[in-house]
Structure 1
């Protein structure tokens, strides 16, 4: 399988699109397009969270992708240790659905501490789609 790859982004709104492009380009180069749109959506949500909630002033975020025969793992590293939690917003709340999207489109996710500070929010995806 391919070597893991990562890219650092500054904590600004336009970096979210750059992170999505990085993920799609990487997956395409690895020949792993089966779940590319699900992963793209999750990159968008996790990168947005890193920009809005996870990056301390002067810090950005890191997107890392790795793959083996079974799974693609997406990680977003940021500089704040506050752990995100799944929310259940009402229909009129303008935000709060990001981690529910991650739950829906990935095959698992979690949060780990990052040293010397911050956290890693990860999700993984079956590398191949299973037939219905």
Structure 2
């Protein structure tokens, strides 16, 4: 079985546990809102292990979408930005991650294996 968003094979015997989705406007306050949403979802699902890793990955990908999405949002007009490490952090923290093209734009996703409590 495949999903619309991710063509990778998924186990059809195990349905996703309460999937959640939220869309955000392309504005600065969306990044902390995405972090809060992720933290709330993890808490509702009873996930404690790796919650900080998940929230950091959400934050980095939300920031990348804001900064690098079209049309670009100028966040650092004086050029002193020390960014550029977001995907490196995601690649180190997540167990899997990738990019899927779509029209328009792309989807950047990640997965973290959460140990059973």
Q: Shorter-chain TM-score category?
A: 0.7 to 0.9
Larger radius of gyration: 2
Q: Distance in 2 between matches of 1:107 and 1:56?
A: 30
User: What TM-score, normalized to structure 2?
Assistant: 0.73
User: What TM-score, normalized to structure 1?
Assistant: 0.65
Moved more, 1-10 or 14-23: 1-10
Q: Which residue of 1 aligns with 2:4?
A: none
Relative contact order (C-alpha < 8 Å, sep 6+): which is higher? Answer: 1
Deviation per residue, 1:42-89 (Å, 9 max, x gap): 0110000011112437xxxxxxxxxxxxxxxxxxxxxxxxxxxxxxxx
Instruction: Report the alpha carbon displacement of residue 4 of structure 1 after superposing the two structures with TM.
Output: 1.2
Residue ranges of structure 2 left out of the alignment (5+ in a row): 1-15, 73-79
Q: Distance in 1 between matches of 2:35 and 2:44?
A: 14
Tell me the C-alpha RMSD between the 2 structures: 2.0
Q: Which residue of 1 aligns with 2:6?
A: none
Equivalenced residue count is 94
**Which 4+ stretches in 1 moved above 4 angstroms?**
none
Structure having the larger proportion of residues in strand: 1
Instruction: Report the alpha carbon displacement of residue 95 of structure 1 after superposing the two structures with TM.
Output: 1.6
The 5 A counterparts of 1:1-132 are 1-56=16-71, 94-114=82-102, 116-128=103-115
